[in-house]
Amino acid sequence: MTNGRSGQRLPGVDSGGPGPGWPPGFVSGAADRRALAVLLSLSSLTPRRLLDAAQTRRSARACLRAVRDAGVGSEADRSRARDLDGAAILARLPPLGARLVAVGEAEYPVGLLDLFDPPAGLFVRGGPLGSFEPRVAIVGARNCSPVGRETAELLGSALARAGVSVVSGGARGIDSAAHRGALAEGGNSVAVLGCGIDIDYPRQNRPLFQQIVAMGAVVSEYPPGLRAEPFRFPARNRIIAALSRAVVVVEGAEGSGSMISADHALDLGRDVYAVPGPVTGPLSWVPHALIREGATLIRGPDDLLADLGLRAPDDTSGQADGSPPRSLSPDGLTDAERTVWRVLSASLPADTAARSAGLRLAETLSALVGLEMRGLVRQVGGRYERRPQGRGST
């Protein structure tokens, strides 16, 4: 993978991560697993601090002894570590349908080792993580636009049909739409939480999380009982990026977590894609900033699948010459209307739509009028966009 900003290979990405990794046998038995459950429950013992301690202590048990004996961590860590019982933490997992996946175990995702601060373990609900590959992340604004929501859903659907697992954060807006798009196609999805593995956050997404567990997996680096707090979400975003082959950003305001996810992806050498929007729209700030810095612009599912070298196996419009599959559109459209429909995965002014479609402006305007009359397209502030209810299969 290359860095979207510079095109240069990042150090450590192909060699197991930057800097020293977890010692072999860091978690090698039941006692180490109990110790790890306690270590993962200590809020101020960050993954990087634990990794640094592991370089000399070599095992989870030894690291826990060092915390309890004041050799590692804060006073709060020491007090909490002395109170916690690792066996009791692990005993809470089976009733939740959850398990602890420790570093060094077969199910531990190798992509996490590319991180500067890889977690020593993940808590997982759902199927084996290794069965959900390849993985592509879709992230974006919680308070997204209708077009952004539809775009994320279309992207999730297309990836699922191409056999790709969709990774996101389970939040409102773009995250939820991406998950739902994948699940609606019978695909699988992976949700990464910024809270304990037993907490469905946000609460209104509980039915969605149940679906994800049934058809994919919910993961967290946090044990049961740790509530969602603001500082956990940027940490969660690094895991989303590390689990994924690429990260797609659909809307994001300045200062949002979408940029954090993209920056993690770039640091890891993952590919970054961004969906453009209205130049003056606040939700376009992150995608446009990323595109300006070298991320790949995509107009919708066709572009993404083509750039990833993928195609949906049920796409019968494929080309014998191996060129990317074309998106399907609603029935009953003229050729010009179908062409314009495909380029409107993002909100576009008429002249840009004409250039993207390869049509004369007069042909494009005529097609847009036809699409408007069918209730498939609407005009907002001089730009044309698909209506949410006017979804076509892609």
DSSP string, 202-246: SGGGHHHHHHHHHHSEEEESS-TT----TTHHHHHHHHHHHH-SE
* Residue tagged 């003056």 (tokens): 280
Residue 86, domain extent: 19-91
pLDDT at 9: 28
Domain assignment present for residue 113? The answer is: no
Same domain assignment for residues 216 and 301: yes
Q: What is the pLDDT of residues 308-339, one digit of tens each?
A: 998 765 544 443 334 433 344 576 788 888 88
Domain end point (choices 259, 290, 308):
308
Q: What's the CATH number where 163 sits? A: 3.40.50.450
Same domain assignment for residues 203 and 277: yes
Domain assignment present for residue 371? The answer is: yes
Same domain assignment for residues 193 and 280: yes
Same domain assignment for residues 36 and 167: no
Report the SS3 class of residue 386.
strand
Same domain assignment for residues 237 and 145: yes
Same domain assignment for residues 291 and 205: yes
Domain assignment present for residue 119? The answer is: no
pLDDT at 347: 77
Domain end point (choices 38, 65, 91):
91
| Half-sphere exposure for 208 (CA within 13 Å, toward CB) | 26
Same domain assignment for residues 256 and 146: yes
Domain assignment present for residue 160? The answer is: yes
pLDDT at 128: 95
Same domain assignment for residues 85 and 228: no
Residue 305 burial by Cβ neighbours in a 10 Å radius (0-12, 13-18, 19+): buried
pLDDT at 313: 58
Which residue stretches of the chain have pLDDT < 50? 1-17, 315-328, 389-394
Domain end point (choices 39, 62, 91):
91
Same domain assignment for residues 139 and 231: yes
Q: Is pTM beyond 0.75 here?
A: yes
pLDDT at 324: 38
Domain assignment present for residue 254? The answer is: yes
Q: What's the CATH number where 364 sits? A: 1.10.10.10
- What one-character DSSP code corresponds to residue 167? E
Same domain assignment for residues 278 and 233: yes
Count how many domains the chain has.
3
